[in-house]
């Protein structure tokens, strides 16, 4: 039910924005439709591979090992393992989210998966090498990493506390 409401809300926002763009009558709406379509076509094969791949990874992950190392009972040690794993996961969002989604299905605890996703988002060495180092100043990357290191552990700790 909530999924349907969310879809309706999204399309309402898209329609409203499209109307604003269309009223400009300068080709903005057409340009947006074409850019949006290109993005969608670019994403489609990646999402398909990622989602179906995640289904298979979930079947292949050794459930006992995942729940032993990353299960809800693994506590702080599991959270630290998950944080390190998140920072070290190579590849883009398909890889990171596929692994995390599969781990959750295979019995990993919610705090550990939240720690993993947060660490992957903020500290992924892959994104730092590929995107940040070529674009951003080194001092900025260093400062950003320093203030971000505690955040996956804080996120996992709050998740442990609320669940």
Partner 1 sequence: MSGVVVENVTLLLGILPKVAAGCLIGALITLLVPREMVVKLVGSESGLRGLIIATIAGILVPGGPFTVFPITVAFLAIGADRGAAIAFVTAWHVVGLNRAIIWEMPFFGHEFVFTRMAISVAFPLLAGVLARLVPWPRASKESGT
Binding site for partner 1 (CB under 8 A): 2-3, 6-7, 10-11, 13-14, 17-18, 20-21, 28, 31-33, 35-37, 39-40, 43-44, 47-48, 50-52, 54-56, 59, 93-94, 97-98, 100-101, 104, 110, 113-114, 117-118, 121-122, 127, 130-132, 135-140, 142-144, 146-148, 151, 154-155, 158-159, 162
Minimum CB separation from partner 1 for residue 64, in Å?
A: 20
Residue among 12 and 77 whose Cβ is closer to partner 1: 12
Minimum CB separation from partner 1 for residue 73, in Å?
A: 19
Residue among 104 and 106 whose Cβ is closer to partner 1: 104
Minimum CB separation from partner 1 for residue 84, in Å?
A: 18
Closest CA to 89 of 59, 53, 120: 120
Residue among 68 and 154 whose Cβ is closer to partner 1: 154
Residue among 52 and 68 whose Cβ is closer to partner 1: 52
Q: Please name the residues in contact with 14: beta carbons below 8 A apart, sequence gap of 6 or more.
A: none
Minimum CB separation from partner 1 for residue 69, in Å?
A: 20
Q: How far apart are CA 115 and CA 86, in angstroms?
A: 8
Q: Could you tell me the sign of the dihedral formed by the alpha carbons of 151, 160, 53, 7, in that order?
A: negative
Residue 12 CB-density burial (10 A; 0-12 exposed, 13-18 middle, 19+ buried): exposed
> What is the 3-state secondary structure of 10-76?
HHHHHHHHHHHHHHCCCCHHHHHHHHHHHHHHHHHHHHHHHHHHHHHHHHHCCHHHHHHHHCHHHHH
């Amino acid at each position: 039910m909530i999924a349907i409401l969310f879809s309706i809300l999204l399309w309402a926002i898209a329609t409203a924005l499209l109307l604003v763009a269309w009223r400009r009558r300068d080709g903005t709406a057409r340009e947006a439709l074409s850019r949006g379509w290109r993005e969608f076509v670019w994403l489609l094969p990646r999402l398909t591979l990622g989602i179906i791949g995640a289904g298979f990874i979930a079947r292949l992950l050794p459930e006992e090992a995942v729940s032993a190392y990353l299960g809800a009972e693994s506590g702080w040690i599991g959270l630290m393992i998950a944080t390190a794993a998140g920072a070290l996961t190579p590849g883009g969002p398909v890889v990171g989210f596929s692994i995390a989604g599969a781990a959750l299905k295979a019995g990993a605890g919610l705090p550990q998966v939240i720690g993993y996703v947060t660490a992957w988002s903020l500290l992924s060495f892959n994104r730092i090498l590929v995107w940040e180092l070529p674009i951003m100043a080194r001092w900025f990357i260093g400062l950003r990493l320093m203030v971000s290191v505690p955040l996956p552990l804080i996120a996992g700790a709050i998740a442990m506390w609320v669940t």
